[in-house]
């Protein structure tokens, strides 16, 4: 593959992933700042916030279903066509959110319509990540698979930077203007990003490894049946490994927005700014960590990140509670910007290397999306509930972060043996850096 084709493949993988996560994180932050007041109206502000977070969590539970639908298409028909469908679905849902009337205008139909569009978003992203990952890794030379696989992971943080930046600009408006129309602008403008993403993907051919499966005539009729019958252990490993990558991420990036502003008295601008700085740093570090994993191995980097996450849980909250904007920024940079980077950089490549090419889309998607449903979308809700039940003490939330790290460390223990046994024909055991 020449350099021009390489750039186009990586750009297509990165751009689509970035757009999807821009849309997704936009909702997560709006749940904390806007939707609890305009859509999930309740006399008790805490109940309103928890309802808003519940709607955020709900779509995580629809993601595995989206993953099943679109990974079936991806393993049967191809990666490229699937990615066009998922991007279009999520783009339409996000655009629609920007046009919705509020609870004050149409009553109970406002949250119902919002949740419906949120579920459509969840279906789209359920199939997007696996396709973006495989577009990168299945084009990658064996000695650079870690670097290639880290590129779509950058889309998570780039999307978050775009979403946070858009919100930060909008929060500079007077509060009345922001709550009336300012919050709608990023949702509506996302349509232009989707059009750009579809244009980029139009020029990409199907991946070489999927073409090889097609040529062999070994495409399974029901990929999910084969996956659950022959690769169930790998799916369980992927679910467990996802936990420490997703739960702390939503604590550092979403939950902190309401926690720092409501409980600790920080301004919205300072909190969103700290998240934005941290995500810029982790975006830079992700491809560096991915490239490093090609030299020292995915498993070593993942374990180092998970152990560091467990050790950092209590220092993170201690720094937040000092009331200093500088320490807020430093705390977020260390957690989200540095410790999280090696975990997410190697996660996708590690997943792709333990599944056979015939069911790889289905396998990586099931593991990733079920793990995200169990630990990701629920993280802000769990953290908020822990605060409410323990007199606003951060200790239970810190213990929760440590618990997620322990789950993933236990899960990752089995990866080494599986990587050689289950690798696709192009991924020989001696080449694997897991």
pLDDT (tens digit per residue) in 298-336: 999 999 999 999 999 999 999 999 999 999 999 999 999
Give the span between the Cα atoms of 33 and 158, in whole angstroms.
Answer: 21
Which stretches within 99-144 are classed as H helix?
103-106, 109-137
| Domain layout of the chain by residue ranges | 3-203+219-414
Q: Evaluate the CA torsion angle 43, 256, 19, 357 in order and state its sign.
A: negative
Q: Is the pLDDT of residue 57 over 90?
A: no
pLDDT at 427: 38
Identify whether the C-beta of residue 210 lies closer than 8 Å to the C-beta of residue 357. Answer: yes
Tokens of 239: 């679910």
Q: What is the mean pLDDT of residues 81-90?
A: 87
Give the span between the Cα atoms of 18 and 94, in whole angstroms.
Answer: 14
pLDDT at 433: 54
Which stretches within 259-391 are classed as H helix?
268-296, 298-320, 325-332, 340-352, 360-371, 379-389
Q: Is the pLDDT of residue 355 over 70?
A: yes
Lowest mean pLDDT segment, chosen from 95-104, 154-163, 185-194, 221-230: 154-163
pLDDT at 434: 62
pTM (predicted TM-score): 0.82
Quick one: pLDDT band at residue 1, thresholds 50, 70, 90? Answer: low
Task: Identify the three-state secondary structure at position 356.
Answer: coil
Q: Is the pLDDT of residue 420 over 70?
A: no
- Report the mean per-residue pLDDT for the chain: 86
pLDDT at 229: 92
Model confidence pLDDT, tens digit, residues 360-389:
999 999 998 889 888 987 888 899 999 999
Q: What is the mean pLDDT of residues 276-286?
A: 93
């Amino acid at each position: 593959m020449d350099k021009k084709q390489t750039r186009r493949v990586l750009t297509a993988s990165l751009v689509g992933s970035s757009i999807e996560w821009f849309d997704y994180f936009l909702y997560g932050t709006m749940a904390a700042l806007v939707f609890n007041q305009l859509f999930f109206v309740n006399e008790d502000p805490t109940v309103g916030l928890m309802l808003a977070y519940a709607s955020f969590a709900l779509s995580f539970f629809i993601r595995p279903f989206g993953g099943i639908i679109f990974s079936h298409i991806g393993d049967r028909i191809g990666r490229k066509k699937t990615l066009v469908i998922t991007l279009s679905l999520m783009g339409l849902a996000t655009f629609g959110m920007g046009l919705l009337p509020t609870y004050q205008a149409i009553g109970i139909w406002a949250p119902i319509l919002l949740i419906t569009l949120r579920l459509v978003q969840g279906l789209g992203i359920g199939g997007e990540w696996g396709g973006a990952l495989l577009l990168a890794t299945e084009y990658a030379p064996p000695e650079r698979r870690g670097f290639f696989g880290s590129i779509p992971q950058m889309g998570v943080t780039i999307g978050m930077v775009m979403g946070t930046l858009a919100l930060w600009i909008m929060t500079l408006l007077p509060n009345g203007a922001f709550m009336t129309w300012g919050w709608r602008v990023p949702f509506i403008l996302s349509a232009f990003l989707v059009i750009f993403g579809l244009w980029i993907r139009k020029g990409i051919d199907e991946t070489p490894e999927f073409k090889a499966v097609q040529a062999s005539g070994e495409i399974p009729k029901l990929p999910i049946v084969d996956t659950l019958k022959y690769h169930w252990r790998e799916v369980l490993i992927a679910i467990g490994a996802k936990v420490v990558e997703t739960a702390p991420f939503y604590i550092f990036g979403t939950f902190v927005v309401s926690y720092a502003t409501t409980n600790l008295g920080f301004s919205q601008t300072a909190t969103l700014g700290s998240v934005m700085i941290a995500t810029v740093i982790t975006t830079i570090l992700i491809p560096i960590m991915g490239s490093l994993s090609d030299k020292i191995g995915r498993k070593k980097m993942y374990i180092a990140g998970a152990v560091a996450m467990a050790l950092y849980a209590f220092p993170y909250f201690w720094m937040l509670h000092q009331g200093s904007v500088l320490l807020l920024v430093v705390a977020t940079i260390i957690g989200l910007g540095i410790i999280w980077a090696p975990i997410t950089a190697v996660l996708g490549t590690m997943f792709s290397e333990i599944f056979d090419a015939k069911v790889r889309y289905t396998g990586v998607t099931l593991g990733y999306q079920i793990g995200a449903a169990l630990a990701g979308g629920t993280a802000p809700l769990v953290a908020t509930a822990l605060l409410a039940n323990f007199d606003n003490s951060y200790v239970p939330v810190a213990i929760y972060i440590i618990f997620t790290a322990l789950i993933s460390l236990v899960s990752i223990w089995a990866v080494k043996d599986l990587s050689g046994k289950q690798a696709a024909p192009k991924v020989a055991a001696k080449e694997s850096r897991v």
